[in-house]
Chains A and B, each alone.
Chain A
Amino acid sequence: MIEARGLVKRYGPTTAVDNLSFDVLPRTVTGFLGPNGAGKSTTMRMIIGLDRPDGGLVKVGGKSYHDLRSPLREVGALLEAKAFHPGRTARAHLTALAASNSIPKRRVDEVLGITGLGKAAGRRAGKFSLGMAQRLGIAAALLGDPAVLLLDEPVNGLDPEGIRWIRNLLKNLAAEGRTVLVSSHLISEVAQTADQLIVVGRGRLLAQTTVAELSARGNSLEEAFFSLTEGSAEYSASNMSYQGSPS
């Protein structure tokens, strides 16, 4: 379970996250939706303590991330595709991370197996394709067998096979009783796996709802999503008026 209360994050004059409150429940996949620049990544970074909120607080399993005794065993996060040293092998990367939280070595081979990286484990991660890098990130997130998982745009740049793999993985993780938060800017992608939705725009909560509820609001799910996020896109077409003079 993740509880955010009044989260605020400012970067200079820009307010990236503006008084954001939501709950992410276990046993279900929650889609974290919003246009680019809506504050999704910033929020996820605050959940795992990489960024310090300017206001409000966020708790994971009832605790601030900073106070977790063994963070990797409680929260697994994939926040960017390449959060590893390119010169280190996949196995060395995972072995080092596992050691930090006293996770047994055999778990490294297990997550390599789960993510299908077994044969690539001895290769330098810098040579990995984006899809393999993404799998390595997921392997790291699964290392501590955590009850809470955060994934920021996990299907970005993946081929159809990889996308299908992630969808099944997320569904299974939730079915096992875990809390799963997945961000995306594509409602159609999130609807494939998520039941619960948190929709944000310009750092504010636009709706905490379900896929079923949202699709009942319009002719289609996408239409309902667009009418919800209208006006909160970073670059809106209506702002780019045609300046040429007709001749």
Chain B
Amino acid sequence: MTTATLDRAGTHAASRSYGFRSTATMEWLKLRSVRSTPAILGIFSAGMIGLSILVLKNEHYSSMSAADRATFDPTNDGFTGLILGQLAFGVLGVLAITSEFSSGMIRSTLAAVPRRPLLLAAKAAVAGAVMLVAGEVLAFLTFVIGQAALGSSAPHATLGQPGVLRAVLMAGAFPVLIGLIGLGLGAIIRNTAAAISALVGLIFVIPLILVPLGEHLHQEIGKFMPLIMASNSLVAVKPVPGSLTPAVAFGLLCLYALAALGAGGWLLSRRDA
């Protein structure tokens, strides 16, 4: 029996340092070879398109009050599915790292790529790119299908109207940022169930806790909550009073994601695997 079927000179002559590119290739191969990835993309697609049809088909513009008509925003309403979509991508981000800890894969991964911040950066880039492509494609599909489902009596949104293209682009980008926050939480917490609980706490539970604090506090703190930033700023074509501008909300969400990833990378480097 021989183990040296590959001539050592052959492999070692070409031996070059591993780096971001080779690590990202590994992460891409990993992401596409587990069943959770297509399952999550399926749930994301169904949630985005399904809820858009459900909501827009049931808008009764002709029976709306004048006040309701004034705030009627068919673009924003068509992205109700982001409530589910953010959770789907958040879970994808969490699983991209916690599944490695739960299975023991992380030991194989870190033996291949000992520079841990580089590993997390590659994971963020690959998962982020996959989610961004899927997110933007689905955002445009959702917009087109949703507007087609909207009754003929109601005013329809078109991409040419002011703010609409921005809203659609943000509808694709928002869940990606939640996915990256999920990846950061996963690197910090390492356990799948605990990391998903933390994510759900952050995106669903904290906004609910704010409700009994009264309208003023709810609005003042709530405008910094991801989902409220999405629905009141990022995908809103008609500005919602008291909310952040889309640019500020987007910048803030990027900061949240960077903070989560930064903390995750720092802890990943410090702790034993």
Contacts and interface: CB of A to CB of B under 8 A. Distances in A.
B15 A140 contact: no
A142 interface: yes
Contact of A86 (B16, B103, B112): B103
Nearest to B108: A83
A235 B143 CA distance: 67
B242 to A, nearest CB: 45
A77 B273 CA distance: 15
A102 B18 contact: yes
Nearest to B33: A92
Contacts of B67: none
A87 B26 contact: no
B8 interface: yes
Contact of A100 (B8, B106, B113): B113
A121 interface: no
A102 B15 CA distance: 8
Contacts of A75: 111
Contact of A88 (B3, B15, B33, B114): B33
Contacts of A69: 15-18
A82 B33 contact: no
B26 A100 contact: yes
Contacts of B111: 48-50, 71-72, 75, 77, 79
Given A45-B272, A83-B108, A145-B6, A70 B36 contact: no
A84 interface: yes
A83 B113 CA distance: 14
A89 B29 CA distance: 12
Given A49-B114, A69-B16, A100-B18, A176 B3 contact: yes
Contact of B273 (A50, A93, A176): A50
Contacts of B17: 69-70
B14 interface: yes
B34 interface: yes
B105 A84 contact: yes
Contacts of A45: 272-273
Contacts of A86: 103
Contacts of A189: none
Nearest to B272: A51
A113 B104 CA distance: 24
B69 interface: no
25 contacts: A70-B15, A70-B17, A71-B112, A71-B113, A73-B15, A75-B111, A80-B104, A80-B107, A84-B103, A84-B108, A85-B103, A86-B103, A88-B34, A92-B33, A97-B108, A100-B22, A101-B22, A102-B14, A102-B16, A103-B11, A104-B11, A107-B11, A113-B5, A172-B2, A173-B3
Given A50-B110, A73-B12, 5 more contacts: A70-B17, A79-B111, A100-B23, A101-B18, A173-B3
Interface of B: 1-6, 8, 11-12, 14-18, 22-23, 25-27, 29-30, 33-36, 99-100, 103-115, 272-273
